[in-house]
Structure 1
Amino acid sequence: MTEIVFTPIGTVHSPFSDPRDMPIQPVGARGVRGTIELDPACAAGLQDLAGFSRIIVLYHFHRSNGYSLEVVPFLDKTPRGVFATRAPRRPNAIGISMLRLIAVDGATLTVEDVDILDGTPVLDIKPYVPAFDAYPDERAGWLTTTSGAARTMRSDDRFC
């Protein structure tokens, strides 16, 4: 395969400095506030973003080393294929979170529902559009019976 190189466009600032005991999904981080500081050269790309209530943030799991194609995810005790999970130790350590957008101020975004480690490099930001991005009636595989636990589940050291 051909190597792909990304340059971060910004950095997440959150109250989470240790990957242990932090929320595993934005639903478990309701009301947790943070910021995303973009490279000032990218600030023009934020034009019109303030009209959206949520954004999709793609980021690099910068503290994740190596990967396994089979993992025991936080919400289960059964080994699962990594691509059927949202585990951070992946062949390409890319994360995704849907965050509430509170404010845009220059090159800084204030966001809520932050489940991202402080200092995480941001790769891209996209607007969340319910008409395009919400499919509530679709199947959720093995997560159908456990996804509700994401509101209270906290990470541990299994992916550190």
Structure 2
Amino acid sequence: MTGETFEVKALAHVVGGREKPTDDFWGGTRSIIRIDSEQFPPDSVAGLEEFSHLEIVFRFHLTDPTDLHAGARRPRDNPAWPATGIFAHRNMRRQNWLGVSRCRLLRVDGLDLHVEDLDAVDGTPVLDIKPWFVEMGPRGEVHQPPWPTEMLRDYYAPSKDS
């Protein structure tokens, strides 16, 4: 099982929105997920407009491959937060550089999906697009340590540039 590799092909790219990744203030960021018309016909998005949110799997394409942290480290290098392992983080410093984001679908225009609050930058390769089903959300009580709440206080706050 270890060492398996898979070839994954981008099915879309992010157009617009932010040009550089930052830690906070993604709220109100609008961009387009442009689906590749060479791979997908217009009816590949049929019915998608009925959903309010999408779940997007993407590749952190701007990550420095030498900047991996498989062991424990402090989130955002903040000494006030505990050192936690790679699987207790959601950042880009991961072996496969995969990100997952839930964003609001504003409208579907052909193969262009207009979205808000997608925390991926212009040019990001999109590997999968899924509608958000409420039934696929967490089941049972949800809990987490206090540091993510503190760390992400401004994550989806409106941009300071707005």
- TM-score, structure 1 normalization: 0.80
Contact 2:57–2:128 at 8 Å: present in 1 too?
yes
Q: Please name the residue that 1:39 is paired with.
A: 36
Supply the distance in 2 between the matched residues of 1:49 and 1:140 (Cα, whole angstroms): 32
Q: Please name the residue that 1:10 is paired with.
A: 12
What pairs up with 1:55-94 in 2 under 5 angstroms? Answer: 55-66=54-65, 67-69=68-70, 70-74=72-76, 76-77=78-79, 78=81, 79-94=83-98
Supply the distance in 2 between the matched residues of 1:121 and 1:10 (Cα, whole angstroms): 6
The partner residue of 1:29 within 22, 26, 30 is 26
Contact 2:12–2:35 at 8 Å: present in 1 too?
yes
Shift of 1:105: 1.0
Q: Closer, same or farther in 2 for the Cα pair 1:100/1:145, shift >3 Å?
A: closer
Equivalent position amino acid for 1:47 in 2 = A
SS in 1 for 2:143: coil
Shift of 1:12: 0.6
Supply the distance in 1 between the matched residues of 2:48 and 2:12 (Cα, whole angstroms): 16
Shift of 1:88: 0.3
Q: Closer, same or farther in 2 for the Cα pair 1:119/1:136, shift >3 Å?
A: farther
Supply the distance in 2 between the matched residues of 1:5 and 1:34 (Cα, whole angstroms): 26
Q: Closer, same or farther in 2 for the Cα pair 1:56/1:145, shift >3 Å?
A: closer
Q: Closer, same or farther in 2 for the Cα pair 1:75/1:103, shift >3 Å?
A: farther
What pairs up with 1:113-124 in 2 under 5 angstroms? Answer: 113-124=117-128
Shift of 1:63: 0.8
* Unaligned ranges ≥5, structure 1: 155-160
Contact 1:56–1:97 at 8 Å: present in 2 too?
yes
- TM-score, structure 2 normalization: 0.79
Question: C-alpha offsets along residues 8-37 of structure 1, whole Å, 9 cap, x if unaligned?
Answer: 001012332122xx354xxx4222111010
Contact 2:27–2:155 at 8 Å: present in 1 too?
no
Contact 1:34–1:110 at 8 Å: present in 2 too?
yes
Question: C-alpha offsets along residues 14-63 of structure 1, whole Å, 9 cap, x if unaligned?
Answer: 332122xx354xxx422211101010132432111110000000000011
* Structure with the largest fraction of helix: 1
78-87 or 57-66, larger mean C-alpha shift = 78-87
Shift of 1:114: 2.4
Contact 1:75–1:150 at 8 Å: present in 2 too?
no
Supply the distance in 2 between the matched residues of 1:54 and 1:136 (Cα, whole angstroms): 21
